[in-house]
Structure 1
Amino acid sequence: MLQRLVAHFFGRFGFLSLSLVYACLVVVCLSQLISDGDLSLGRRPLQNLMQTATEFSYPSFLDVWFGNPRLEYVSSDGTVLRVENRRVVETNYLLGLARATWTTFSIATLGSLLAAVLALPLGVLTARNLAAPRSLRYIAKAVLDVARSIHTLVFGLVLVGIVGLGPTAGILAIALHSMGTYGKLFSESIETLDIAAIDAVRAVGAGPMQIFFNVIWPSVLPQFVSNHLYVWEFNIRDSTILGVIGAGGLGLLISEATSLFQWGRLSTVLIVIVILVSSFDALSRRIRKALA
């Protein structure tokens, strides 16, 4: 009883100590930013917020039905520079948006699949209960840790310089970063297996490949599929921004809209992203529930 009370006391004391350290860290960060003058809200933040919110509230896709069919662009001296049909212009933009959405989905899909394929052998090597050679386990773990530590955008920036602009750089960036996440999830799934079943099959003379395909793979396949769907869903969100660095897809339209302050078009792109991610989330949730 006394031992439980002591453990409970030190547990609460440890939590309070960590909370105090965290609070001190927050205070230090805030004080440093304030002293450097980096917490400024800029000029007229409320006015800018209201103006941006007003433009966001009218997504550009509404121009397909309500746009001015004869919008005139006039110079300062009253000369008509050009006339455009906003309905036609926005319809063409939506067609381009549909192509960019498919490109983003393709980048996330192919990148996730490549990452899963690359991560599977590394995850098997890092699983402690499979007793892989220590040197191989350390190398595999180091590769996964490095891949997981470097952000997708960093990989993308490097790969754009290597393979050039386009979806290939996005696919490889998604794959290299997600490989670390997949490997960790695969390894943890394998480590939840009953080691006795693995030892029993090993005891009758089964080789590593036989153990994997006859014992490990059937047991962890539902978890692997669930993990794949989860990371795939995350990569759909992640790939929407890769176009900013030249990897194509929705990120390119986001970059164009923000650079030109076209908040109505940015609102349209964000609505598409929300619909895409929400739809895939609902679908993957149903699949994971069926596998549970």
Structure 2
Amino acid sequence: MSPRARTSRFIGKFSGRLGFLGLTLVYVLLVAACLGTLAREDELSLGRNPVANLLKTVGEFANPSFLDVWFGNTHLEYKSDDGTVLRVENRQEVEMDYLAGLGRATWTTIRIATLGSLLGALLGLPLAVLTARNLAAPKPLAWLAKGVLDVTRSIHTLVFGLVLVGIVGLGPTAGILAIGLHSMGTYGKLFAEAIESLDMAAIDAVRSVGATSDQVFFNAVWPSVLPQFVSSHLYVWEFNIRDSTILGLIGAGGLGLLITEATALFQWGRLATVLIVIVLMVSAFDAISRRIRQALS
């Protein structure tokens, strides 16, 4: 029996209802093993006074710092233990300055996600062409391209960021490169799947007249897959906007830096303000990308 026939037979065993139940049982056993081992290692504890800590944290999150722009104390005094006034602060002015910095950090995050996504798409496209089975690229090149895509997709953006910060230094450049390298694997997989879903009749017709590989791609493949490419790009771009907020934790700048500062100082009000900005930014981009995808469909 050929390897392909053995593979088809193996897959066929799991395609029916019995196979689905078997896979479900395996999943249930995996979940039970995870819970059991964590419980045995006493790693499922909620700590001391979890309810009181939760209520306190929720109360602080319910008062985001941006409200100080309108309701903040204009003459807030900081005193020592003996009552000596150490300094006086206008909370409204302080929060206005913070919001200005928050705006600059948001723009940095958008730039990291945008340029990183574009870099990933440009790097992933030629690798997708090589790995798409219906384009019949030379096998050594196809295997090499698939290996590169699998590796970059497997390594998290944060890991790439940690390495690149050590190479290029702190700042947005490390974040852009980290987003680009990880996204390359995702783009390559999505682009290759889009190419493999094509009707091969048009591609074969172009090949039959003696077209080169470049001519086949740009005349038969590219016009058909462009809408799917744009849709995939918007999806990954949206994901990278969320992902880029974390890169500030390792020194890439942007909103992640403000998140680090707020959590390190237990400033849950300011963290709430940053999270509100992230939610609004992602929601706005999701609405825009949805409109574009609808226009393309």
Q: If the length of structure 2 is used for normalisation, what is the TM-score?
A: 0.95
* Residue 12 of structure 1, aligned match among 13, 17, 25: 17
Post-superposition CA distance 1:171-214 (Å, at most 9, x none): 00000000000000100111111112111111111101111111
- The residue matched to 1:73 in structure 2 has which SS? strand
Alignment partner, residue 65 of structure 2: 60
* Residue 179 of structure 1, aligned match among 184, 189, 195: 184
1:194–1:9: structure 2 CA closer, same or farther, 3 Å change rule?
A: closer
Count the aligned residue pairs. Answer: 286
Post-superposition CA distance 1:115-163 (Å, at most 9, x none): 0001110000000010100000000000000000000000000001111
* Residue 70 of structure 1, aligned match among 54, 59, 75: 75
For the pair 1:194 / 2:199, whether they are aligned, the reply is yes
CA distance in structure 2 between the aligned counterparts of 1:133 and 1:10, rounded to whole angstroms: 32
User: 1:62-211, aligned counterparts within 5 Å?
Assistant: 62-211=67-216
Post-superposition CA distance 1:204-237 (Å, at most 9, x none): 1110111111111111111111110110000000
Shift of 1:8: 11
* Residue 224 of structure 2, aligned match among 213, 219, 231: 219
1:125 alignment partner AA: L
CA distance in structure 2 between the aligned counterparts of 1:202 and 1:10, rounded to whole angstroms: 36
Q: Which moved more, 1:15-24 or 1:65-74?
A: 15-24
User: 1:197-276, aligned counterparts within 5 Å?
Assistant: 197-276=202-281
CA distance in structure 2 between the aligned counterparts of 1:199 and 1:102, rounded to whole angstroms: 46
* Residue 25 of structure 1, aligned match among 25, 30, 50: 30
Alignment partner, residue 44 of structure 2: 39
- The residue matched to 2:16 in structure 1 has which SS? helix
1:220 alignment partner AA: V
CA distance in structure 2 between the aligned counterparts of 1:40 and 1:109, rounded to whole angstroms: 40
Query: What are the ranges of 5 or more consecutive residues in structure 2 without an aligned counterpart?
Result: 1-11
CA distance in structure 2 between the aligned counterparts of 1:184 and 1:9, rounded to whole angstroms: 24
Alignment partner, residue 3 of structure 2: none
CA distance in structure 2 between the aligned counterparts of 1:23 and 1:202, rounded to whole angstroms: 50
1:181 alignment partner AA: T
CA distance in structure 1 between the aligned counterparts of 2:168 and 2:296, rounded to whole angstroms: 38
- The residue matched to 1:20 in structure 2 has which SS? helix
Runs of 4+ in structure 1 off by over 3 angstroms are: 7-10
The percent identity for this pair of structures is 75
Alignment partner, residue 3 of structure 1: none
1:285 alignment partner AA: R
Post-superposition CA distance 1:54-76 (Å, at most 9, x none): 00001000000000001001111
CA distance in structure 2 between the aligned counterparts of 1:21 and 1:226, rounded to whole angstroms: 35
CA distance in structure 1 between the aligned counterparts of 2:69 and 2:227, rounded to whole angstroms: 45
Shift of 1:23: 1.2
CA distance in structure 2 between the aligned counterparts of 1:163 and 1:234, rounded to whole angstroms: 24
CA distance in structure 1 between the aligned counterparts of 2:33 and 2:139, rounded to whole angstroms: 41
